[in-house]
Amino acid sequence: MLSAGVLAWICVVFLAAGFVKGVVGMGLPTVAMGLLAVTMPPAQAAALLLIPSLVTNLWQLLTGPSFGRLCKRLWTMMAGVMLGTVAGAGLLTGTHTGAASAGLGAALVLYAILGLAKAGFTTSVRHEALLSPLVGVATGLVTGATGVFVIPAVPYLQSLRLGREDLIQALGLSFTVSTAALAIGLFRTGALASPSAQLVGSVAALAPALAGMFAGQALRQTMSVETFRAVFFVGLLALGGYLMGDGIL
């Protein structure tokens, strides 16, 4: 059973993670995994992430205008995400926790560097058929090993030059599939050995995650998103560096 202090920490983490998602449209799993992995094994952190991530991303997915069209366009990428996540989930458990922490740190550092450099590229329509499943599998392997959904899915989806609302919905689709696949992978590897306690923690995290998301969406209307994104990526860079060092040592 989780203690009151642990539950309070989980609520604070997901309030902050939901706030980030509300402002920049993504980042809940990245922030939550990064902060939780400082105090608990990555597999436990990933289990706590499941319900808040699934609900907030379903919300983001189902409120967009192009659900059917995006599913048809990106289904091979989603299939790759599912396969890669289930295949890589074993790295979050057992004797691989140090490597998983280091891998999570590396993913955060890479994501932060890409964000600060505003690195981008364009994928032509004729290359999508080849790249989508490869990006999906790569994203799934990173998700399965670290619990972070963003690399390389987010840069790839940004490279498709989707409209703003379509991009937000495509991110919701990718993150929803990643969350579901991660749940399957954790169950398959036995990481959900205490499902009742993990379910309590994950349900407890949902309310602060939603509250933070709504607050972030409100603040987004009154502040510079670019300024916030810069602070966000610098923070991720520092946190990722810490987790890399901790995992290696």
Over range 189-199, report the average pLDDT.
69
Least confident of 86-90, 138-142, 194-198: 194-198
Lowest model confidence (mean pLDDT) among 7-16, 123-132, 153-162, 224-233: 224-233
Most confident option among 11-20, 35-44, 159-168: 11-20
Between 15-19, 72-76, 184-188, the lowest mean confidence (pLDDT) is in: 184-188
Structure-model confidence comparison of residues 8 and 190, the more confident one = 8
pLDDT for the residue numbered 181: 94
Q: Cα separation of 79 and 81, whole Å?
A: 5
Q: What is the pTM of this model?
A: 0.84
